[in-house]
Every structure is written in structure tokens, then in C-alpha cells.
Structure 1
């Protein structure tokens, strides 16, 4: 279910407030209520609601109460790291409702799933009840994603929405240093966002535009292909000016599943997936020199890439296996029924 139109997926039944017309969408957006949605879900025998992000959890509270079913909410990142003041200043109806009605979610939500220990800590600081906050990272399909071999081309991959939090501007600065030492190095960026034009201008300013490829948004299958064709993945995330932080960094887990070394930052939940010097490198936020050094170390050392790649794959298999994580989620559902 959702507020916006839900794309049709074979074998999956869906319902959206948008199906009931613009007045229903407006009512749901402003008041969080839609009798048509509650009726449609009741007719389908809905036994539990699971919202992703605290914002959607707040919207789901009245519907869950109307149906008399438990509400599970997964907290991913911005929903507990962006400050309340910034949310109110945004004037977005959904964020205003989230801040205004958050106590109803704290009171009526059955369980709050946090994608990392970091997000659990931030959730408790935000006011979420500690006794109902559990850590359950989203898993990676280690059967579908298999390790790829070593890539001779010194290609660095960056997969991210082009926003402040992803630290792309610092990666471009570091890559300019990398190119001086490894002239045939290449940086491939997958993702779109409001910073696309300014980042392109930065690449031109540094004289690296010929070695930086902005591919825009790509299908997941194509992104995995680029992972297999890259030497390593870099996600140098930073705390944004509004407080936004990474919950975990799913692309880091997918890279590890692919057997690729990663370079990240001491930021958000990233250190829970990447152990510095074991399955990748971590550097301080916004430290361009340290970032360039670690990228160069991996580009120059095939044995280290292999070592980190194998360690990363083991980490994902043992701690972030999608099948195991799904079993845990289903167990949680059963305990609430």
C-alpha cells in the first residue's frame, strides 16, 4: 500500500490512496485518514501493516487502528537523523505531519525496526520507545549476487543519489589526486540528484571530466554489472547540513557480496558493515587526503583487493544474508499476530 501510485508487480497485490482520486489523496496527506483505503485493506484481510520510514509510520497509525492490526515501522536514516527544526522548516506536508503526530506513532506502533545500531541510538534520542526498537538490517541476496573476479581497469564505482549526504564532492576531489598517481584511473558515478550540475562543474574545474562518467540512474541489474566491472566501490558519506546520515549503506553490502573491496567513512551505520583494515577502509568524513590515500592503496594492491573482497563476502553471508534476515522478519510478524 502507499500514498502514491504503486507500480504493478506480477504476483503482488497492491493498493494506493491514489486509486481513490485526488480528494482521497489530499485528505490522507493532510489528515492521515482514508476510509476508502481502510475498507480496501479490510476486504483483503490485512493482518499487519509494515511502514518504511517513520514518516509513513505516522501516516499508517490511523489505518492500523481502524483495522485493529499491529503496525511495524522500519527506520532507515533521515527519519531519525534530520533535526525536527529542519523538518518543520522544509514545509513539506509529510514532514510537518511526522513531527506533529510523532507521539501517536511512539504510542501505537508495535515494533520499530532499525537498520543499524546507529539508527537505533538515534531513534531513541528522537523519542522512540527503547523497549520496542529492534535492530534488523535489510539483507542482501547472496545467492543472486555472486563474487566477481579481479578487474584490471583501475575503475572506482560510486552508487548514490547525488545529494550532500553521499559525499560525492569529496570523492571528486580525492579522485583528482588519484589521477595524478594513476593516470588511467576511471570514476563511474551511478545516480541522479539535485547536485548533478554542480558536481559536473567540479569535475571540469579539476580537469578530470574525461575520466569521470556520470551515468545517471540505472536499473539494479545494470548497477550490479558495473560493480562486477569495477575494482572497488567508494561511498564517502558525510553528515548533511540538516543532520541527515546513512542508516547503513546497502550498496556497500552489495559490493561486498560481489567480492569487491569498499572505501567508506566513519559515519552513521557504515562502520557496522565495514571493518577498517578487514573488509575495506574507513576514513574520517570530508578528509580528502585520507580518502585519496586509501583509494590509491587498493588500486595499487591486487592482493589486498582480493583479501578485502573475500572478507566482505563472508561478512555479508554471515550477518546480512537476505534469507536469514527475512526469516527473522517473518518471526517478528508471527510474534505480533
Structure 2
């Protein structure tokens, strides 16, 4: 940011990063954290924000927006909330049945957020449409993808090895099981193909079991969660990135996965599903390929096409890089966000 200085606020402990300033409700003790989780109120946090001269509150996810409402009102500050995905796609009944106090409070008190929110930032047009369905005020919705650092992530030469990269939290909506089934087909057409999976989650054990059942052996590597630097290294070494997202049983959908933009920044084509906001960043037949949700055969066909044709992968990658520089440059997107802040403060 050029104009505003961020202070990171969280319920739980915030990881320390050089050059950043942060505070968490957990700093004030377990009782304070429990009280905040149940009631959405924290006197100590309010005092800290007032002492810091806070000008505006920006919550990420509607759940945290609901928690920020009492603070915004007590401090007389404008509240911006970014809607990312599950907060406007998971059904209300599933959120209530989760047993999580924060999710239950979100459903119960969302009307307060609708009334108090100065602006609601949607990471894609798809999320904007879902937000309207959820009851968010359409006249205060702004579509503003976060973007990626196109200076940090530079285009790399097309990888010589036929390697697919999948970066995801291992949960249902990421479609990893469909990718494994498609990759089993790909291996018959491209015997030296490999699949690298970066990420962890509750489905890791069953997904590893599925890979064994499909007899994929060493052709699939589950690396678990990795630092961003390592993820970018894996991105440079891959021929392409696969984002086979689906609508989960809960209704959960993607907003706009960051890995789609990072892949394009690195000049890597994306094979993904026509799901959520993916199609807003991937142009079918130009920067990658899109198939329908759960279309395992279509996924396998498109993956095979790019693995067999490095020149095509390179052409798609260059086009993707041009798209992300033009439409999803982090610096430009942050400037737009600060302009929005300026209209509210």
C-alpha cells in the first residue's frame, strides 16, 4: 500500500512477518477470546484500534465482517468486507449445522452486516452474483480481484518434463479426486507424465488411497503444505496447472483461486473447470482449457493435449501472462483498493 498502513487483526495468534504490525484477540487471554467468539465484542481490541488511530476496518470473508460490525459501530469507522467464496455459496442450513459459533453468528447476524457495511468487495463476478442471492445490497457490491505480484512471479520457459501441478487445500470443492481419475487416463497416453500435489487437508488420506487404488505409484507426489517460495518453484517446473474445482455437497464454490493467476503470471497454461470465477481468468482455447465440473474424460483429454504439445502450452502460457499483467496486476489492484478506502475515509 502507498497511502494506508495496514494493521493485521485476528482472533487467533498472527504469524510474525518482518515489517508488519498485528494484534489478535488471543493476546488478551483465553477468556477474552471465548467472549469475542460468542458475543462478537472485545473491549480491549477496540481500545487498541482507537489508540492506533484506525481509519477503516477491512474484513476478509463475510464471517469476519459480521464480527467487525460491533467494532465499526463502536469506533465510528467505515467497514469494508471482501467476499471470497464459501461465505456466499455454502447453504445457510449447512453453516448453522456446522456447530461453529462463528459460522452460526454469521447466519444469525448477517442482517447487521448488510446494514452496516460501507462496501462489499467481491473477488469475481460469480461471487457478486452469489452475494446478491444471499441478500447483500447490490448497490454496495464492488468486483475487485486481489491480483498477484507480476514482478515477483516472472514467466519461465516451458518445462521440458510433462508435469502437472495441482495446488489446493485437500477438500471436496477442489476436485482433486477427479484429477487423480483423469491422470490415470493421461498416463496411458503420456507414460512419463507426473502429477505434483501441493497442499494438505482432511481428504489427504483418502486421496492418497485413491492414488494407490488407481495404481499411480510414484507418478503422483503429495508434498503437503509448502512455503510460497517452494510452491512457486514447483510452478516453474510444471508444464501446466490443473484447477478441477467442483461444487461441494454443502454448496461451497470457488471465488477466484489465486493459483490460477499465479500460473498465468509464470506463463503456465491452466486446465480447469468452468466453475466459480475460474472462467473469468482462463479463456478456453487461448490461455488454457475449461471443461465441465466432474468431466473426468474431458479433463484427461485437455491435460493430454498440453502435455503432448509443448509449443501449444507455451503459446497458452504467453497469452495467460498478458492477461494477468493487464487485468490482475497486484499493484494496480491494490491501488484500486486504496482509492476505494479514500472514498470512505
Q: Which TM-score applies when normalising by structure 1?
A: 0.99
Q: How does 1:1-337 map to 2 (within 5 A)?
A: 1-337=9-345
Displacement after TM superposition at 1:296 (Å): 0.4
User: Match of 1:281, SS?
Assistant: strand
User: Match of 1:134, SS?
Assistant: strand
- 1:275-325 Cα deviation digits (max 9, x unpaired): 100100000000110000000000111121111000000000000000100
d(CA) in 2 for partners of 1:223 and 1:9? 19
Gaps in structure 2 of 5+ consecutive residues: 1-8
d(CA) in 2 for partners of 1:88 and 1:103? 15
d(CA) in 2 for partners of 1:60 and 1:168? 34
Displacement after TM superposition at 1:9 (Å): 2.1
Runs of 4+ in structure 1 deviating by more than 4 angstroms, as ranges, are none
d(CA) in 2 for partners of 1:199 and 1:97? 33
d(CA) in 2 for partners of 1:110 and 1:24? 27
Aligned residues: 337
d(CA) in 1 for partners of 2:16 and 2:303? 41
d(CA) in 2 for partners of 1:11 and 1:190? 28
- 1:90-129 Cα deviation digits (max 9, x unpaired): 1110100000000000000110000000000000100100
User: Match of 2:120, SS?
Assistant: strand
Gaps in structure 1 of 5+ consecutive residues: none
d(CA) in 2 for partners of 1:282 and 1:274? 8
Report the RMSD for the aligned CA atoms in angstroms.
Answer: 0.6
